Amino acid sequence: MTTAYRKRGVDYSTGSMFTLSPEFYRSEEIYREEIDNIFYRRWLMVCREEEIPETGAFITVAVGDESIIVVRDDRGTIRAHFNVCRHRGTRICEREQGQFGSGDIQCPYHAWRYRLDGTLKAAPLMNETPSFDMSDYPLHSAHVGLWGGFVFISLAEDPVPFETEMAGLIGRFEEWHLPELRIAHTIKYELKCNWKLILQNYQECYHCPGVHPLLSKWTPFRGAVHDCMEGAVIGGYMEMKEPNGGMTMDGKPASVPVCDVSGENLRRVHYYSVFPNLLLSPHPDFVLYHRIQSVTIDRIRNDCFFLLHPDVIADGTKMERFRSAIEFWDKTNREDWHVCEQMQLGLRSRRFERGRYSGQEDILFALDREVLKALGRTPPSR
Protein backbone atom coordinates (compact mmCIF):
# COMPACT_ATOMS: atom_id res chain seq x y z
CA MET A 1 0.00 0.00 0.00
CA THR A 2 1.27 3.48 -0.81
CA THR A 3 0.67 6.67 1.09
CA ALA A 4 -2.55 8.51 0.25
CA TYR A 5 -1.70 12.13 -0.50
CA ARG A 6 -4.88 13.77 -1.73
CA LYS A 7 -7.30 15.57 0.56
CA ARG A 8 -9.81 18.27 -0.42
CA GLY A 9 -8.09 19.03 -3.71
CA VAL A 10 -4.55 19.33 -2.29
CA ASP A 11 -1.99 17.11 -3.99
CA TYR A 12 1.26 16.64 -2.11
CA SER A 13 2.52 13.74 -4.20
CA THR A 14 4.29 15.93 -6.74
CA GLY A 15 6.57 18.92 -6.53
CA SER A 16 9.21 19.83 -3.98
CA MET A 17 8.47 20.05 -0.28
CA PHE A 18 11.03 21.79 1.91
CA THR A 19 11.24 21.99 5.69
CA LEU A 20 10.88 25.11 7.75
CA SER A 21 14.10 27.02 8.27
CA PRO A 22 15.95 26.27 11.53
CA GLU A 23 14.95 29.66 12.96
CA PHE A 24 11.53 28.14 13.64
CA TYR A 25 13.18 25.89 16.22
CA ARG A 26 15.71 28.27 17.77
CA SER A 27 14.47 31.86 17.41
CA GLU A 28 13.02 33.32 20.60
CA GLU A 29 11.21 35.92 18.50
CA ILE A 30 9.41 33.29 16.43
CA TYR A 31 8.66 31.28 19.57
CA ARG A 32 7.01 34.36 21.08
CA GLU A 33 4.92 34.66 17.92
CA GLU A 34 3.86 31.03 18.33
CA ILE A 35 2.79 31.60 21.92
CA ASP A 36 0.78 34.69 20.95
CA ASN A 37 -0.77 33.37 17.74
CA ILE A 38 -1.10 29.65 18.41
CA PHE A 39 -1.15 28.81 22.11
CA TYR A 40 -3.07 31.93 23.15
CA ARG A 41 -5.59 31.58 20.31
CA ARG A 42 -6.15 27.94 19.37
CA TRP A 43 -8.00 25.21 21.24
CA LEU A 44 -5.72 23.29 23.63
CA MET A 45 -6.46 19.89 25.14
CA VAL A 46 -5.86 20.18 28.89
CA CYS A 47 -7.27 17.07 30.59
CA ARG A 48 -9.88 14.33 30.63
CA GLU A 49 -13.18 15.04 32.32
CA GLU A 50 -12.41 12.29 34.83
CA GLU A 51 -9.43 14.31 36.11
CA ILE A 52 -11.86 16.84 37.60
CA PRO A 53 -14.64 14.43 38.60
CA GLU A 54 -16.57 16.38 41.24
CA THR A 55 -17.54 19.83 42.45
CA GLY A 56 -14.46 21.85 43.35
CA ALA A 57 -11.97 19.53 41.67
CA PHE A 58 -9.46 21.49 39.60
CA ILE A 59 -6.25 21.47 37.63
CA THR A 60 -4.06 24.42 36.68
CA VAL A 61 -2.64 24.71 33.18
CA ALA A 62 0.41 26.74 32.19
CA VAL A 63 0.20 28.36 28.74
CA GLY A 64 3.08 30.69 28.02
CA ASP A 65 2.96 33.36 30.74
CA GLU A 66 -0.63 32.51 31.59
CA SER A 67 -2.03 30.12 34.17
CA ILE A 68 -5.56 28.76 33.86
CA ILE A 69 -7.70 27.12 36.54
CA VAL A 70 -9.93 24.41 35.06
CA VAL A 71 -12.58 23.50 37.63
CA ARG A 72 -15.93 21.75 37.93
CA ASP A 73 -18.52 24.08 39.47
CA ASP A 74 -21.44 23.24 41.75
CA ARG A 75 -23.68 22.54 38.76
CA GLY A 76 -21.21 20.06 37.28
CA THR A 77 -20.18 22.46 34.54
CA ILE A 78 -16.49 22.60 33.64
CA ARG A 79 -15.16 26.16 33.81
CA ALA A 80 -11.82 27.73 32.91
CA HIS A 81 -10.63 30.87 34.71
CA PHE A 82 -7.48 32.91 34.34
CA ASN A 83 -5.50 32.25 37.52
CA VAL A 84 -5.19 35.92 38.47
CA CYS A 85 -7.04 37.88 41.14
CA ARG A 86 -9.06 40.87 39.93
CA HIS A 87 -7.86 42.91 42.90
CA ARG A 88 -4.16 43.43 42.19
CA GLY A 89 -3.21 40.60 39.87
CA THR A 90 -1.94 37.98 42.33
CA ARG A 91 -1.74 34.41 41.04
CA ILE A 92 -4.38 32.66 43.10
CA CYS A 93 -3.70 28.93 42.89
CA GLU A 94 -0.20 27.44 43.14
CA ARG A 95 -1.01 23.72 42.94
CA GLU A 96 -1.21 21.76 39.67
CA GLN A 97 -4.22 19.76 40.85
CA GLY A 98 -6.49 19.62 43.86
CA GLN A 99 -9.85 20.34 45.42
CA PHE A 100 -11.40 23.63 46.49
CA GLY A 101 -12.88 22.09 49.61
CA SER A 102 -14.58 25.27 50.79
CA GLY A 103 -16.35 25.69 47.47
CA ASP A 104 -14.53 28.98 46.98
CA ILE A 105 -11.43 30.09 45.10
CA GLN A 106 -9.57 32.40 47.46
CA CYS A 107 -6.69 34.73 46.69
CA PRO A 108 -3.84 34.15 49.20
CA TYR A 109 -2.94 37.86 49.35
CA HIS A 110 -6.00 39.90 50.36
CA ALA A 111 -8.53 37.06 50.64
CA TRP A 112 -10.83 38.02 47.81
CA ARG A 113 -13.04 34.96 47.30
CA TYR A 114 -14.66 33.73 44.09
CA ARG A 115 -17.35 31.14 43.49
CA LEU A 116 -16.44 28.17 41.33
CA ASP A 117 -18.25 29.79 38.41
CA GLY A 118 -15.83 32.74 38.73
CA THR A 119 -18.16 35.35 40.20
CA LEU A 120 -16.77 37.42 43.06
CA LYS A 121 -18.27 36.31 46.39
CA ALA A 122 -16.37 38.35 48.97
CA ALA A 123 -13.96 41.30 48.91
CA PRO A 124 -12.99 42.34 52.46
CA LEU A 125 -13.68 46.00 53.26
CA MET A 126 -14.40 46.89 49.65
CA ASN A 127 -17.91 47.88 50.71
CA GLU A 128 -16.20 51.00 52.06
CA THR A 129 -14.94 51.84 48.58
CA PRO A 130 -17.25 54.23 46.67
CA SER A 131 -18.98 52.82 43.59
CA PHE A 132 -17.48 49.34 44.04
CA ASP A 133 -19.76 46.69 42.54
CA MET A 134 -18.72 43.06 43.07
CA SER A 135 -20.50 41.99 39.88
CA ASP A 136 -17.93 44.01 37.93
CA TYR A 137 -15.02 41.83 39.12
CA PRO A 138 -15.48 38.15 38.25
CA LEU A 139 -12.45 36.09 37.33
CA HIS A 140 -11.63 36.42 33.65
CA SER A 141 -12.81 33.30 31.87
CA ALA A 142 -11.44 31.14 29.07
CA HIS A 143 -13.58 29.15 26.66
CA VAL A 144 -14.22 25.43 27.21
CA GLY A 145 -14.89 22.74 24.60
CA LEU A 146 -15.69 19.08 25.22
CA TRP A 147 -15.25 16.09 22.94
CA GLY A 148 -14.91 12.38 23.64
CA GLY A 149 -14.25 12.91 27.35
CA PHE A 150 -11.45 15.38 26.57
CA VAL A 151 -11.50 18.96 27.88
CA PHE A 152 -10.20 21.74 25.63
CA ILE A 153 -9.74 25.42 26.41
CA SER A 154 -9.12 28.52 24.32
CA LEU A 155 -7.63 31.69 25.77
CA ALA A 156 -8.79 33.79 22.82
CA GLU A 157 -11.51 36.36 23.48
CA ASP A 158 -13.36 35.26 20.35
CA PRO A 159 -11.98 31.88 19.20
CA VAL A 160 -12.98 29.92 16.15
CA PRO A 161 -16.00 27.88 17.30
CA PHE A 162 -14.92 24.59 18.83
CA GLU A 163 -17.09 22.51 16.50
CA THR A 164 -15.58 24.28 13.49
CA GLU A 165 -11.97 23.90 14.64
CA MET A 166 -12.48 20.23 15.54
CA ALA A 167 -14.61 19.27 12.57
CA GLY A 168 -12.08 16.57 11.68
CA LEU A 169 -12.74 14.87 15.03
CA ILE A 170 -16.50 15.26 15.35
CA GLY A 171 -18.11 11.94 14.44
CA ARG A 172 -14.84 9.99 14.41
CA PHE A 173 -14.10 7.07 16.71
CA GLU A 174 -17.70 6.60 17.83
CA GLU A 175 -17.06 2.84 18.09
CA TRP A 176 -14.56 3.45 20.89
CA HIS A 177 -17.13 5.17 23.17
CA LEU A 178 -14.37 7.53 24.25
CA PRO A 179 -16.34 9.26 27.06
CA GLU A 180 -16.71 5.90 28.80
CA LEU A 181 -12.99 5.12 28.85
CA ARG A 182 -10.74 5.86 31.81
CA ILE A 183 -7.04 6.51 32.33
CA ALA A 184 -5.34 3.18 33.03
CA HIS A 185 -1.72 4.33 33.05
CA THR A 186 0.33 7.52 32.67
CA ILE A 187 3.98 8.09 31.75
CA LYS A 188 5.43 11.60 32.10
CA TYR A 189 8.36 12.71 29.98
CA GLU A 190 10.43 15.89 29.84
CA LEU A 191 12.19 16.51 26.54
CA LYS A 192 14.85 18.91 25.34
CA CYS A 193 13.33 19.86 22.00
CA ASN A 194 10.89 22.22 20.34
CA TRP A 195 7.18 21.33 20.47
CA LYS A 196 6.85 21.11 16.68
CA LEU A 197 9.44 18.34 16.44
CA ILE A 198 7.20 16.04 18.48
CA LEU A 199 4.18 16.60 16.23
CA GLN A 200 6.34 16.01 13.16
CA ASN A 201 7.93 12.88 14.57
CA TYR A 202 4.53 11.47 15.49
CA GLN A 203 3.07 11.95 12.02
CA GLU A 204 5.67 10.23 9.85
CA CYS A 205 7.10 6.73 9.72
CA TYR A 206 9.92 7.40 7.25
CA HIS A 207 12.17 7.08 10.31
CA CYS A 208 10.58 3.86 11.57
CA PRO A 209 12.78 1.17 9.95
CA GLY A 210 15.94 2.61 11.48
CA VAL A 211 14.56 3.95 14.77
CA HIS A 212 11.71 1.51 15.53
CA PRO A 213 12.50 -1.99 14.22
CA LEU A 214 9.86 -3.58 16.45
CA LEU A 215 7.12 -1.10 15.52
CA SER A 216 8.00 -1.58 11.84
CA LYS A 217 7.63 -5.31 12.30
CA TRP A 218 4.03 -4.94 13.48
CA THR A 219 3.00 -2.04 11.18
CA PRO A 220 4.97 -1.82 7.89
CA PHE A 221 6.02 1.80 7.46
CA ARG A 222 4.90 2.13 3.83
CA GLY A 223 1.31 1.35 4.80
CA ALA A 224 0.45 4.82 6.11
CA VAL A 225 -2.80 6.37 4.86
CA HIS A 226 -3.35 10.10 5.52
CA ASP A 227 -7.00 11.12 5.33
CA CYS A 228 -6.80 14.54 7.04
CA MET A 229 -4.22 16.90 5.56
CA GLU A 230 -5.46 20.39 6.46
CA GLY A 231 -6.64 22.29 9.50
CA ALA A 232 -6.33 21.50 13.21
CA VAL A 233 -6.84 17.76 12.83
CA ILE A 234 -4.16 16.05 10.75
CA GLY A 235 -3.41 12.37 10.41
CA GLY A 236 -4.54 8.94 9.30
CA TYR A 237 -3.85 5.31 10.09
CA MET A 238 -1.52 2.36 9.61
CA GLU A 239 -2.50 -1.26 9.21
CA MET A 240 -1.04 -4.01 11.33
CA LYS A 241 0.71 -6.79 9.46
CA GLU A 242 -1.18 -9.53 11.32
CA PRO A 243 -5.00 -9.54 11.21
CA ASN A 244 -5.28 -10.17 14.95
CA GLY A 245 -2.15 -8.35 16.01
CA GLY A 246 -1.41 -5.73 18.62
CA MET A 247 1.09 -3.00 19.41
CA THR A 248 2.79 -4.91 22.18
CA MET A 249 6.18 -6.49 22.80
CA ASP A 250 5.03 -9.82 21.30
CA GLY A 251 2.72 -8.38 18.61
CA LYS A 252 -0.41 -9.89 20.15
CA PRO A 253 -3.42 -7.86 21.37
CA ALA A 254 -3.01 -6.09 24.70
CA SER A 255 -6.66 -6.53 25.58
CA VAL A 256 -10.10 -7.22 24.16
CA PRO A 257 -11.39 -4.80 21.50
CA VAL A 258 -12.56 -1.49 22.93
CA CYS A 259 -16.37 -1.29 23.19
CA ASP A 260 -17.82 -1.62 19.66
CA VAL A 261 -14.59 -1.54 17.61
CA SER A 262 -14.99 -3.95 14.71
CA GLY A 263 -14.27 -4.58 11.03
CA GLU A 264 -11.30 -2.78 9.48
CA ASN A 265 -10.57 -0.94 12.72
CA LEU A 266 -9.55 -4.23 14.33
CA ARG A 267 -6.31 -4.07 12.37
CA ARG A 268 -5.76 -0.31 12.18
CA VAL A 269 -3.77 1.98 14.45
CA HIS A 270 -4.85 5.61 14.07
CA TYR A 271 -2.50 8.58 14.46
CA TYR A 272 -3.97 12.09 14.60
CA SER A 273 -2.34 15.29 15.77
CA VAL A 274 -4.86 17.81 17.07
CA PHE A 275 -2.97 21.05 16.57
CA PRO A 276 -1.16 22.21 18.59
CA ASN A 277 -0.88 19.92 21.62
CA LEU A 278 -2.77 16.61 21.41
CA LEU A 279 -1.55 13.40 19.80
CA LEU A 280 -4.40 10.89 19.62
CA SER A 281 -3.94 7.22 18.73
CA PRO A 282 -6.95 4.89 18.98
CA HIS A 283 -5.91 1.22 18.76
CA PRO A 284 -8.31 -1.70 18.45
CA ASP A 285 -7.76 -2.62 22.09
CA PHE A 286 -6.93 0.68 23.82
CA VAL A 287 -6.46 4.40 23.20
CA LEU A 288 -3.12 6.15 23.55
CA TYR A 289 -2.76 9.92 23.70
CA HIS A 290 -0.09 12.51 24.45
CA ARG A 291 -0.66 15.93 26.02
CA ILE A 292 2.12 18.33 25.09
CA GLN A 293 3.06 21.44 27.03
CA SER A 294 5.64 23.78 25.55
CA VAL A 295 7.79 25.09 28.41
CA THR A 296 10.47 26.99 26.47
CA ILE A 297 11.63 27.09 22.88
CA ASP A 298 13.57 23.85 23.41
CA ARG A 299 11.81 22.22 26.39
CA ILE A 300 8.50 20.40 26.56
CA ARG A 301 6.51 18.24 28.92
CA ASN A 302 4.94 15.29 27.19
CA ASP A 303 2.49 13.26 29.26
CA CYS A 304 1.47 9.92 27.75
CA PHE A 305 -1.85 8.31 28.73
CA PHE A 306 -3.45 4.92 28.10
CA LEU A 307 -7.25 4.67 28.08
CA LEU A 308 -9.20 1.46 28.71
CA HIS A 309 -12.76 0.52 29.57
CA PRO A 310 -13.32 0.50 33.36
CA ASP A 311 -14.18 -3.23 33.26
CA VAL A 312 -10.73 -4.01 31.86
CA ILE A 313 -9.00 -1.78 34.43
CA ALA A 314 -10.82 -3.64 37.23
CA ASP A 315 -9.57 -7.03 35.98
CA GLY A 316 -6.11 -7.76 37.40
CA THR A 317 -5.35 -10.52 34.89
CA LYS A 318 -6.21 -8.31 31.91
CA MET A 319 -4.14 -5.46 33.30
CA GLU A 320 -1.15 -7.75 33.74
CA ARG A 321 -1.38 -8.56 30.04
CA PHE A 322 -1.77 -4.85 29.22
CA ARG A 323 1.69 -4.18 30.65
CA SER A 324 3.08 -5.43 27.32
CA ALA A 325 1.48 -2.44 25.52
CA ILE A 326 2.84 -0.03 28.13
CA GLU A 327 6.33 -1.50 27.75
CA PHE A 328 6.12 -1.39 23.96
CA TRP A 329 5.05 2.25 23.78
CA ASP A 330 7.47 3.43 26.46
CA LYS A 331 10.28 1.82 24.47
CA THR A 332 9.00 3.36 21.22
CA ASN A 333 8.51 6.78 22.82
CA ARG A 334 12.04 6.86 24.18
CA GLU A 335 13.43 5.94 20.77
CA ASP A 336 11.50 8.91 19.34
CA TRP A 337 12.49 11.31 22.09
CA HIS A 338 16.18 10.56 21.51
CA VAL A 339 16.09 11.42 17.80
CA CYS A 340 13.95 14.53 18.44
CA GLU A 341 16.51 15.81 20.94
CA GLN A 342 19.30 15.04 18.48
CA MET A 343 17.44 17.00 15.82
CA GLN A 344 17.08 19.98 18.16
CA LEU A 345 20.85 19.93 18.70
CA GLY A 346 21.50 19.68 14.97
CA LEU A 347 19.23 22.60 14.18
CA ARG A 348 21.60 24.86 16.11
CA SER A 349 24.18 24.43 13.35
CA ARG A 350 24.97 27.52 11.31
CA ARG A 351 25.45 25.33 8.24
CA PHE A 352 21.97 23.80 8.15
CA GLU A 353 19.43 25.87 6.18
CA ARG A 354 16.40 23.97 4.93
CA GLY A 355 15.91 20.28 4.28
CA ARG A 356 13.95 18.43 1.61
CA TYR A 357 10.97 16.33 2.67
CA SER A 358 10.53 12.87 1.22
CA GLY A 359 7.23 11.66 -0.20
CA GLN A 360 6.72 9.80 3.09
CA GLU A 361 6.76 13.15 4.92
CA ASP A 362 4.03 14.96 3.02
CA ILE A 363 2.02 15.31 6.19
CA LEU A 364 4.83 17.27 7.84
CA PHE A 365 4.60 19.78 5.03
CA ALA A 366 0.90 20.09 5.91
CA LEU A 367 1.78 20.68 9.57
CA ASP A 368 4.30 23.36 8.59
CA ARG A 369 1.63 25.10 6.54
CA GLU A 370 -0.65 25.16 9.59
CA VAL A 371 2.09 26.82 11.66
CA LEU A 372 2.79 29.41 8.98
CA LYS A 373 -0.89 30.24 8.51
CA ALA A 374 -1.28 30.69 12.27
CA LEU A 375 1.64 33.13 12.27
CA GLY A 376 0.16 35.11 9.40
CA ARG A 377 2.87 34.04 6.97
CA THR A 378 2.14 32.83 3.47
CA PRO A 379 2.58 29.05 3.33
CA PRO A 380 4.46 27.67 0.32
CA SER A 381 2.42 25.83 -2.29
CA ARG A 382 5.26 23.27 -2.53
pLDDT of residue 6: 34
pLDDT in tens, 70-107: 999 999 999 999 999 999 999 999 999 999 988 899 99
- The pTM assigned to this predicted structure is 0.94
- Does one domain contain both 135 and 225? no
Which are the contacts of 171, defined by CB distance < 8 A and separation ≥ 6? none
User: Do 30 and 104 belong to one domain?
Assistant: no
Is a pLDDT exceeding 80 seen at residue 259? yes
- Name the band, by pLDDT with cuts 50, 70 and 90, for residue 381: low
Three-state DSSP at 314 gives coil
Q: What is the CATH number of the domain that holds 188?
A: 3.90.380.10
Which is higher by pLDDT, 14 or 38?
Answer: 38
Claim to verify: residue 250 and residue 363 sit in the same structural domain: yes
Q: Is residue 1 part of a domain?
A: no
pLDDT at 13 (0 to 100): 46
Shared domain for 198 and 181, answered yes or no, is yes
Residues 196 and 287 grouped into a single domain:
yes
Number of domains in the chain: 2
Mean pLDDT of the chain: 93
C-alpha–C-alpha distance, residues 105 and 128, integer Å: 23
Q: Give the domain extent around 189.
A: 23-41+172-374
**Do 305 and 188 have their domain in common?**
yes
> Under a CB-based contact definition with an 8 Å cutoff, are residues 27 and 34 in contact?
no
Q: What CATH number should be reported for the domain holding residue 51?
A: 2.102.10.10
**How confident is the model at residue 5, as a pLDDT?**
33
Asked if residue 126 is part of any domain, the answer here is yes
Residue 296 resides in a domain: yes
Question: For 11-16, which contacts have Cβ atoms below 8 Å and span 24 or more sequence positions?
Answer: 12/229, 12/362, 12/365, 12/366, 13/359, 13/362, 15/381, 15/382, 16/356, 16/382
324 and 269 in a common domain: yes
Counting residues of the chain whose pLDDT is more than 90, the rounded percentage is 87
Mean pLDDT for 208-236 is: 89
Instruction: Give the model confidence (pLDDT) of 34-80 as tens digits.
Output: 999 999 999 999 999 999 999 999 999 999 999 999 999 999 999 99
Domain-terminating residue out of 109, 129, 159 = 159
- Of how many residues is the chain composed? 382
Helix (H) or strand (E) holding 149: none
- Judged against a pLDDT cut of 80, whether residue 245 lies above it is answered with yes
